[in-house]
Amino acid sequence: MNAYRMYDREEYRREDAEALSILQDEEESELADQFDNELPLSKLETMLTSALSADKKAVSSAFMDNVEFQEKAAEFLRFAAEVIGTNQAKINRSLQ
């Protein structure tokens, strides 16, 4: 009988840990989606235009005419949103 209780207790602990992991992943994903939506390519273009000494037309051309640049910039913004979302979720959990 005792062995069954130990097995059940371990099984419940494993299920709880798995459920918690899924909830954490969902929180991180939701935060990443939120941050990704808050930082569109147009904001990156504006930031680069104001930060670089390049002609505004050169920056705009990269965003308007170069599909590979657009894809890489979007990948970077998504990566940044995911990393920041993960860090924000960790901070949120530490405050609970």
The confidence score (pLDDT) of residue 25 equals 92
Confidence tier at 1 by pLDDT (50, 70, 90): low
Q: What is the pTM of this model?
A: 0.76
The confidence score (pLDDT) of residue 31 equals 93
The confidence score (pLDDT) of residue 16 equals 84
Question: Minimal CA–CA distance to 76: which of 47, 41, 38, 42?
Answer: 41
The confidence score (pLDDT) of residue 8 equals 79
Q: Is the confidence at residue 3, as pLDDT, over 80?
A: no
Using one digit for the tens of pLDDT, what is the confidence trace for 7-56? 778 888 888 889 888 999 999 999 999 999 998 999 989 998 999 888 89
Residue 84 CB burial class (10 angstroms; 0-12, 13-18, ≥19):
middle
Please name the residue that has the structure tokens 């640049």. 69
The domain segmentation of the chain, as residue ranges, is 26-94
d(C-alpha 41, C-alpha 36), whole Å: 10
Q: Are 86 and 28 in contact (CB under 8 A)?
A: yes
Tokens of 4: 């069954």
Q: Tell me which architecture the domain covering 26-94 has in CATH.
A: Orthogonal Bundle (1.10)
